[in-house]
Amino acid sequence: MKRKEVDRKIKIGMMSPWNTNCGVSIHAELVGREWIKMGHDLTVFAPDESYWGKPLTHPDEPFVKRCYVLNRGFIGVPDERLEKFFKKNEILKFEGNAFVVQNLELMPIFGLRDIWDKINCNKRLLVIHEGSPPMFPEFYELEFDKIICFDKRYVDLFSKYFPRKKIRNIPYPCHKWKPGSKEQARRKLKKKLKLESNLDLPIDDKTKIVFTFGINVKTHMAVLKVLDQINNRKYRLLFLALPTEIPVDDALKRYLEERFKFLKVLPQQALSFEQLYEYLHAADLLILHKGRTGNIVVSSTVYLCLGSGCPIAIRESKFTEDLGKEVIIYRDHEELKQKIIELFEDDGTLLSELHKAIKRKIKKHDARKVAREFIKIMK
Q: What is the DSSP string of 323-346?
A: --TTSEEESSHHHHHHHHHHHHTS
Asked whether residue 230 falls in the same domain as residue 203, the answer is yes
Asked whether residue 127 falls in the same domain as residue 47, the answer is yes
% of the chain surpassing 90 pLDDT: 82
Pick the last residue of a domain from 111, 139, 170: 170
Pick the last residue of a domain from 147, 170, 193: 170
Angle between helices 333-344 and 221-230 (to 10 degrees): 40
Q: How far is Cα 361 from Cα 287, in angstroms, rounded to an integer?
A: 19
Asked whether residue 210 falls in the same domain as residue 337, the answer is yes
Residue 218, pLDDT score: 79
Asked whether residue 52 falls in the same domain as residue 99, the answer is yes
The predicted model gives 194-200 an average pLDDT of: 85
Residue 376 is assigned to a structural domain of this protein: no
% of the chain surpassing 70 pLDDT: 97
Q: What is the pLDDT of residues 32-79, one digit of tens each?
A: 999 999 999 999 999 999 998 899 999 999 999 999 999 887 666 777
Pick the last residue of a domain from 111, 135, 170: 170
Asked whether residue 148 falls in the same domain as residue 187, the answer is no
335: domain CATH number is 3.40.50.2000
Half-sphere exposure of 86 (CA within 13 A, CB side): 22
Angle at 283 between CA 282 and CA 289, to 5 degrees: 150
Nearest CA to 44 out of 70, 20, 66 is that of 66
Distance of CA 250 to the CA centre of its chain: 27
38: domain CATH number is 3.40.50.11930
Total of domains in the chain: 2
Residue 374 is assigned to a structural domain of this protein: no
Residue 378 is assigned to a structural domain of this protein: no
Q: Average pLDDT over the chain, rounded to whole? A: 93
Choice between 97 and 77, residue whose per-residue pLDDT is larger: 97
Query: What are the φ and ψ backbone dihedral angles of 125, each rounded to 5 degrees?
Result: -120, 140
The predicted model gives 215-230 an average pLDDT of: 88
Residue 7, pLDDT score: 55
Least confident of 5-9, 115-119, 157-161, 191-195: 5-9
- What phi-psi label fits residue 147: left (phi over 0), alpha (psi between -120 and 50 degrees) or beta? beta
Q: Residue 216 pLDDT more than 90? A: no
The predicted model gives 160-184 an average pLDDT of: 97
Residue 369 is assigned to a structural domain of this protein: no
From start to end of the chain, where are the E strands? 11-15, 41-47, 64-68, 98-102, 123-127, 146-149, 167-169, 207-213, 236-242, 263-265, 285-288, 312-315, 328-330
Angle between helices 349-364 and 333-344 (to 10 degrees): 110
Asked whether residue 151 falls in the same domain as residue 199, the answer is no
Q: Residue 331 pLDDT more than 80? A: yes
Q: What is the pLDDT of residues 272-295, one digit of tens each?
A: 999 999 999 999 999 999 888 889
Which domain range does residue 148 map to?
3-170
Q: How confident is the model at residue 1 (pLDDT cuts 50, 70, 90)?
A: very low
Residue 54 is assigned to a structural domain of this protein: yes
Q: How confident is the model at residue 371 (pLDDT cuts 50, 70, 90)?
A: very high
Residue 312 is assigned to a structural domain of this protein: yes
Asked whether residue 150 falls in the same domain as residue 247, the answer is no
Asked whether residue 103 falls in the same domain as residue 194, the answer is no
Q: How far is Cα 63 from Cα 206, in angstroms, rounded to an integer?
A: 46
Query: What are the φ and ψ backbone dihedral angles of 211, each rounded to 5 degrees?
Result: -125, 145
Q: What is the pLDDT of residues 2-35, one digit of tens each?
A: 445 555 899 999 999 999 999 999 999 999 999 9
The predicted model gives 88-112 an average pLDDT of: 96
Asked whether residue 33 falls in the same domain as residue 109, the answer is yes
Angle between helices 273-282 and 182-197 (to 10 degrees): 110
Q: Residue 200 pLDDT more than 90? A: no
Residue 255 is assigned to a structural domain of this protein: yes
Asked whether residue 197 falls in the same domain as residue 344, the answer is yes
Q: Residue 117 pLDDT more than 70? A: yes
Asked whether residue 11 falls in the same domain as residue 158, the answer is yes
Asked whether residue 144 falls in the same domain as residue 205, the answer is no
Question: Could you tell me the strand order of the sheet in which 64-68 lies?
Answer: 64-68, 41-47, 11-15, 98-102, 123-127, 146-149, 167-169
Residue 377 is assigned to a structural domain of this protein: no
